[in-house]
Chain A
Amino acid sequence: MAMKRIGVFICHCGRNIAGTVDVKRVAEEIGKREDVAFSTTYVFMCSQPGQKLIEDSIKKYNLDGVVVANCSPTLHEKTMRNAAARAGLNPYRVEIANIREWAAWPHEDNPEAATRKAIRIINATIEKLKANASLEPIEVPVTRRVLVIGGGVAGMQAALDIADSGIETILVEKEPSIGGNMFRLSETFPTLDCPQCILTPKMNDVGGHPNIKLYTYSEVEDVEGFMGNFKVKIKKKATYVDWDKCTGCGECLRVCPAHVDSEFDLKMAKRTSIYIANEQAVPLKALIDENSCIRLQFEKKVKEGKIKPKKNVKICSKCADVCEPNAIHFQNNEEIVEEEVGSIIVATGYEVMPAEAFPELGGKYPDVITALQFERLLAPSGPTAGIPRRPSDGKIPKSIAFVHCVGSRDPQNGVPYCSRICCMYTIKQAMLVKHALHDAAVYDFYIDIRSNGKGYEEFYHRAKEEYGVNFIRGKVSKVYKVGDKYRVQGVDTLTGRIVEVDVDMVVLATAAKGSSTVKELAKKLRIPYDEWGWLKETHLKLKPLETPVGGVFIAGAAQFIKDITDSVSQGSGAAAKAMALLSKPQLEKEPLLAKVDPEICAGCGRCKDQCAYDAITIDPIRHVSVVNEALCEGCGACSANCPTTAIQVVNFKKGQVVRAVDVLAEVF
């Protein structure tokens, strides 16, 4: 039923529209149409009196359709549809004609043309509106559970907040312990609390929370489903130890003869092949690294037929021999578990570029390390018990140089952006060196000090005034070995001359990037990411936690490198988003989705190939396309590719769009 009593409301938008477009003339011209029952103008349609005008007019003139000519529909389509709904008109009978961005703003120099264009845009919108159907929102059921991916500080905060609200939460962490990068840190700026003191309570809360199901040493294998109803496959990697029996006593660690670089200590220390991630790990459980375990390697080679075992050969089982609860079974216990959740929070964190990526800055030398590695040397729980020592010879350094912006702000050799946290942690590390080694000389080569947080600038001034750190403004060009020392060749741009200094150790503040495994994960979740591995938010300012996939949120450094304060805030923010989503028994969804006419559809599958949301399947029996309403986002890619117009987006049907285009394309 085509509409016959349409109301047209033209907004002045102050002078934004009315300053260029002759709104009175537009209202008169549109009012001449037979299908328009009422047309008027108002200074701000989005204001409360403006909305009241629409409501009152719908009732007074018994309108069956409304066109509001104002700004972009992304701004006020919802406002106007809600106003219509209050007056009893189906909200999908309201259309927005964007005469501000399309007519007033681009043609400020030609008011006559702008006015005519506005009239034409409104006429086209009326043509489109006339065939609009009344629609009701689609209801989708919800699973009241949340999956949090990443057990760093942001993920833990999100999991705790959701679990505290009574919603069951599943936390997946790929490392054997939660804690993330924050737990590697020595102390935190600008308050100098140690993570061993402030993070362990949170870790223990997560470990013991009745509403949190913790999967450490696990990875998300596959994600299916849609907002409110995700099905997730989680791979629990092989530990070769029964964690139900393991008490975390650590006896096995003392007897294991195989040693490899410790992942937790970032190669600054060795660990045994059977290991516990760190002394305060949650969960405190031992696991065997199959790549270094003598027994597992032997068994693997036997299995592959590379060696033949002699009879009665005794293979190392020292760990199992000392294990009182008999937890070590050497059996591959890899397992896939399935979980159903309603919302997913991705908090996969960051990584730093390796020192080896910067050979000109000495990255090839053992005593030139990244700042994250240096954190382990400064940490009281670390391999050197908080007194930094040179990795090459274990000597306590008498002088240390810090280099800022290694790879950051350097699109040619690294990343174009500022890594945000380096200035502050470098200043902190310089201070901590002075704490540990009072007479060590500390040189800090920076380009700019970016200390934009609460208490940060004051922290920098403390380092300068009280701690005796030498700050030199200019980027270091090279670091090379001279005898036992490393010569740092920099520049002082403030006095305009080259500066050289010989030091015992160099710490590089290398650029931060998204977690190396995040791209794989993002593909499984169908969320976008950029070339540096940062997950993309829906809107940088107004929707920083949302992704284009409904029900999937991002938090912490997964979105972009950020400090602990911001990561915790985002963790809580994402938790609130997930809780809001799950607060209703059912979800409402815009009904502007693709619909298939099974009479016409030939089941060719072109729409299925185009669908970015995996919303279309081909019914094998009837051989026609079927749209999953919960997954469909109404983008229209299917419709544009359908050879028979069998699949169309509701209220964007071919006739509607073509009639609107006809009006717009008439010779001017």
Chain B
Amino acid sequence: MKYTITKDPHEDERVQKIIEISGQNIFSCYQCGRCSSGCPMAEFMDVLPNQVFMFLQEGDVDTLLNAKTPWICAACFTCTVRCPVGLDLAAVMEAIRELQLRKNYDYVDPYKVEEREELPPIAMVSNFRKFTP
């Protein structure tokens, strides 16, 4: 595994976008790991919550967009409550999902869903909102 930094991560447009959507200065994370140690879903994640910040600080948004972690996040806010520098990781996770969603990543044609008559409406709504691979 190798990653080459090609430009200053601070100047990366997608990192800037995530900062803008979440309202969080992701560069203030100093990697204590408390978000990961307290996360009830961490054991199911492929990228640990604290690593989410590290990938962002290195400008590696692609890895995060392809990771399962943002979709496994239950948005329970445990990390947000515990963060020593007051970062809202749940908001950052949402921003990553948002970045993906805005690409129509979860596009589902409702008309093509079989058994759509039998599905509860909430299942359809959540399908639009949060895609779970």
Contact = CB atoms under 8 A, between A and B. Distances in A.
Interface string B21-39: 0000101101100000000
A418 to B, nearest CB: 19
A108 B50 CA distance: 50
Contacts, number: 63
A464 B30 contact: yes
A472 B57 CA distance: 9
A501 B10 contact: no
A497 B60 CA distance: 12
A498 B3 CA distance: 6
A499 B1 CA distance: 9
Contacts of B31: 473, 494
B54 interface: yes
Given A470-B10, A470-B58, 7 more contacts: A443-B5, A468-B10, A492-B54, A498-B3, A499-B4, A500-B5, A501-B4
7 contacts: A441-B8, A443-B5, A461-B85, A470-B10, A497-B3, A499-B4, A500-B3
Contacts of A499: 2-5, 58
Nearest to A470: B9
Nearest to A472: B58
Nearest to B59: A470
A495 interface: yes
A495 B51 CA distance: 6
Given A472-B58, A495-B55, A464 B28 contact: yes
B83 to A, nearest CB: 13
A494 B28 CA distance: 15
Contacts of B9: 470
A350 to B, nearest CB: 28
B25 A465 contact: yes
Given A492-B54, A494-B50, A494-B51, A461 B28 contact: yes
Nearest to A500: B4
B103 interface: no
B102 interface: no
Contacts of B50: 494
A459 interface: no
Interface string A456-470: 000011001100101
Chain A, interface size category, equals 20 to 34
Contacts of B3: 492, 495, 497-500
Nearest to B10: A468
A497 B54 CA distance: 11
Given A441-B8, A470-B10, A501-B5, A465 B55 contact: no
B112 interface: no
Contacts of B85: 461
Contacts of B25: 465
Contacts of A470: 5, 8-10, 57-58
B4 to A, nearest CB: 5
A472 B5 CA distance: 11
A266 to B, nearest CB: 28
A496 interface: yes
Contact of A492 (B7, B8, B11, B58): B58
A537 to B, nearest CB: 34
A399 B8 CA distance: 9
Contact of B27 (A464, A497, A501): A464
A550 B50 CA distance: 55
Interface string A417-455: 000000000000000000000000111000001000000
